[in-house]
Amino acid sequence: MINDGIAGSSKTLTRMTKVLRKVCIAALKRLRIRGMRIGGQHRFVVIDESKFAHKRKYHRGRCGNKWVFGMLEVDGLSRRPILRLVKDRSRQTLISQIQRHIRPRTSILTDECRAYNRQLSQYGYRQYCVCHKRHFVDPGTGAHTQHIERAWQNYKFEIWRRRGNRTTESLKTHLKMIEWHHWLGVHHYDGVLGRLIHVKK
């Protein structure tokens, strides 16, 4: 943007980025108020947890480990993630997130995490498990979690590239930006920039 003459300096570019980020987060907040849920009958959602660790420079300082619970709706080439920072990976914590964000009768693909291993049918879901100690893809059902495993790699790279894991608040902000991109940004007919202009109006 500096080379294109849009921003005169890195300081201006930083200010512009902060403003655009606020616009995106405000739009995402309105979406959450209306109801941000995924899944439903004949729809597939993959769930998994992943650790986001801030890498220390020269091995000094605290190494903060934060767990993020991801719920990813897969529909052809479309991906709609819901990413939540969680205090722990207990059954109570993760099941409450699932019930809050995933509609009943959804087909949910999981690994054998103890918090929800073969537990989701009692909450109105169809659960397909894969045992990663034996298979990447379950030979009986075809269930796998590769969609969300690949997504974690992309999300972590984007957050690392923007140094978005230094604090808990920074990580929350960048997780929201990932959600905004997949829920709102990529679905505008004029692309991400068109969505930003539309939201700002």
Q: Which CATH architecture has domain 36-166?
A: 2-Layer Sandwich (3.30)
Q: What is the pLDDT of residues 73-87, one digit of tens each?
A: 999 989 999 999 999
Residues of the chain with pLDDT under 70: 1-9, 54-64, 187-201
pTM of model > 0.75: yes
- Long-range contact pairs involving 33-40 (C-beta distance under 8 Å, separation at least 24): 36/82, 36/101, 36/183, 37/101, 37/102, 37/103, 38/71, 38/73, 38/80, 38/82, 38/101, 38/102, 38/103, 38/106, 39/73, 39/102, 39/103, 39/105, 39/106, 39/107, 39/108, 40/103, 40/105, 40/106
Cβ-Cβ contacts under 8 Å for 23 (sequence gap 6 or more): 196, 199, 200
Extents of the domains making up the chain: 36-166
